[in-house]
């Protein structure tokens, strides 16, 4: 049986990269899979955060999940800190994970920066908690953007380490699902940088909460080169190619089809069409988020119900894992 799990951190506002790389994929999988989608608030503690804003950010992320089209009847939507399995299994897995594996993680190196010794144990262990998120539901498929590839490989290695150490076939090795035409959406200001929640320029990203005018303005102001036509060439034309990928993903078509369709168009006309398309697809998401922001009791209810369902799945798996390692008598 296939079981899907994925997570997004409640840090900063959800953006087009999260939408195309993750949320749109989450929605696509809910029809024919059992899906569990998590707002990973424990992961948000690994970087400096504002305690007064965290619960609100979790609620806003949940609104973003729902506004993107996740149906809380069909999938489990909850926040990580409400299900005790994550930290408990995280500890058990931490005790099996060699430091050498963690030392290879590029995201830790980027986030820790030059002051490696000042980085927290939590930031270092971030990918172990991520492995627990996935393995604690015995998930088989994990939709993510390209940047999570290395963490997913580590999750597979940790699952293998557990199974080998205890001579069991308990955790399935989770498969990353890195699919679609925009698995790595780049900044609208700099085609060499990933679109991210932490970019200081708001014009670098389209937030899911942006209104229609803002979305159109950001697309129109997106940096491009002086080549006149529409081509796909991420090496030579990173910014233009990023817009082609975004168009393809938003329109549910392929990059090649976009290039063919606009073969004789000027780039400025293509951009104007992209602005319209982005407004058409993302405008309603932002409007629904706004509506949900006015109904926090509903969103909290979805999260509470999701936490109950998540715990009902993870609790027995956790207990079995505790038996396997010897914490619980069989
Ligand atoms: P994060 O915002 O880091 O919690 O990421 C949540 C999900 O969105 C993960 O699956 C990421 O791989 C995905 N994601 C984040 N930024 C991008 C991006 N610029 N392009 C594609 N996917 C992304
Ligand atoms: N590390 C992921 C990110 O920043 C978020 C995440 C946490 C996650 N736990 C997960 C993604 C489990 C997939 C599965 O994007």
Indicate whether residue 8 lines ligand 1 (CB < 6 A).
yes
Our answer to whether residue 197 is catalytic in this structure is yes
Low-confidence ranges of the chain (pLDDT < 70): none
Residue nearest to atom 18 of ligand 1 (CA): 17
Tell me the C-alpha distance between 89 and 175, whole Å.
20
- CA of residue 22 to ligand 1 center, whole Å: 6
9 lines ligand 1 (CB under 6 A): yes
Given the residues 2, 114, 197, 221, the one annotated as active site: 197
Q: Does residue 21 have its Cβ closer than 6 Å to ligand 1?
A: yes
* Known active-site residue 290: no
Query: Is the CB of 141 inside a 6 Å radius of any atom of ligand 2?
Result: no
CA of 25 to the centre of ligand 1 (A): 11
Residue from 38, 158, 183 whose mutation best tests the ligand 2 pocket (most atoms within 8 A of CB)? 38
Return all residues near 133 (Cβ < 8 A) that are at least 6 apart: 5, 7, 38, 40, 80, 86
Strands 34-39 and 3-8: parallel
The pLDDT, as a whole number, for residue 12 is: 86
SS3 150: helix
User: Which ligand approaches the C-alpha of residue 184 most closely?
Assistant: 1
Residue nearest to atom 15 of ligand 1 (CA): 18
111: annotated active-site residue: yes
Instruction: Identify the pLDDT of residue 313.
Output: 98
For residue 147 and ligand 1, the question of a CB distance below 6 A is answered with yes
């Amino acid at each position: 049986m296939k079981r899907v799990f994925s997570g997004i951190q409640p840090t900063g506002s959800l953006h087009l990269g999260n939408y195309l790389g993750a949320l749109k994929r989450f929605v696509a999988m809910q029809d024919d899979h059992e899906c569990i989608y998590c707002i990973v608030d424990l992961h948000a503690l690994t970087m400096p955060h504002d305690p007064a804003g965290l619960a609100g950010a979790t609620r806003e992320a949940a609104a973003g999940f729902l506004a993107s089209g996740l149906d809380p009847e069909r999938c489990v939507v909850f926040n990580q800190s409400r299900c005790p399995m994550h930290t408990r299994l995280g500890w058990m897995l931490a005790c099996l994970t060699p430091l050498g594996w963690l030392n290879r993680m590029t995201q830790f190196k980027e986030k820790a920066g030059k002051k490696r010794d000042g980085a927290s144990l939590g930031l270092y262990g971030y990918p172990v908690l991520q492995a627990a998120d996935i393995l604690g539901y015995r998930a088989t498929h994990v939709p993510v953007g390209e940047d999570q590839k290395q963490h997913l490989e580590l999750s597979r290695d940790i699952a293998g380490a557990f199974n080998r150490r205890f001579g069991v076939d308990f955790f399935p090795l989770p498969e990353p699902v890195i699919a679609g035409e925009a698995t790595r959406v780049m900044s609208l200001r700099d085609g060499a940088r990933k679109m991210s929640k932490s970019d200081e320029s708001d014009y670098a990203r389209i937030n899911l909460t942006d209104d229609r005018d803002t979305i159109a303005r950001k697309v129109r102001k997106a940096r491009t080169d002086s080549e006149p036509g529409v081509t796909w060439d991420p090496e030579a034309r990173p910014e233009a190619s990023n817009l082609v990928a975004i168009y393809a993903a938003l329109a549910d078509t392929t990059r090649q089809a976009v290039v063919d369709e606009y073969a004789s168009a000027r780039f400025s006309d293509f951009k104007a069409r992209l602005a319209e398309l982005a407004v058409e697809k993302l405008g309603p998401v932002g409007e629904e988020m706004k509506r949900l922001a006015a109904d926090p009791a509903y969103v909290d209810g979805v999260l509470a119900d999701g936490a109950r369902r998540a715990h009902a799945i993870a609790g027995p798996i956790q207990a079995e894992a505790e038996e396997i390692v010897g914490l619980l008598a069989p």
